[in-house]
Amino acid sequence: MGFDKETKEMMLIQVHPGVTVDDVIENTGFELLLGDVRETDAPTDEELKLLREEIDPSGIVIGK
């Protein structure tokens, strides 16, 4: 998410792989501005290791 510089309205600028713009719109309780929506990069092996071993080793947030 981002914000329009002039109006300060929330703007969709990225979606995760497997998620569509329509998915986000259908699951948001308010109207979103649409920017140049791009797909986020998948996490690197190093980032996944950090998440799994340091940040959430119990898998409470990110799952097992």
* pLDDT tens, position by position, 26-64: 999 999 999 899 999 989 999 999 999 999 999 898 886
Per the structure, how many domains does the chain have? Answer: 1
How does pLDDT run across 7-21, given as a tens digit for each residue?
Answer: 999 999 999 999 999
Whether the model pTM is above 0.85? no
In a domain, 64, yes or no: no
Q: How far is CA 1 from CA 25, 32, 36, 44, 57, in A?
A: 12, 9, 11, 21, 27
| Statement: residue 1 has pLDDT above 90 | no
In a domain, 21, yes or no: yes
- CA dihedral (24, 27, 29, 33) in degrees, to 10, reads 10
On whether the CB atoms of residues 22 and 28 are closer than 8 A, the answer is no
On whether the CB atoms of residues 3 and 11 are closer than 8 A, the answer is yes
In a domain, 62, yes or no: no
Domain that holds residue 14: 2-55
In a domain, 63, yes or no: no
* pLDDT in the model for residue 22: 96
- In DSSP notation, 20-33 reads -HHHHHHT-SS--E
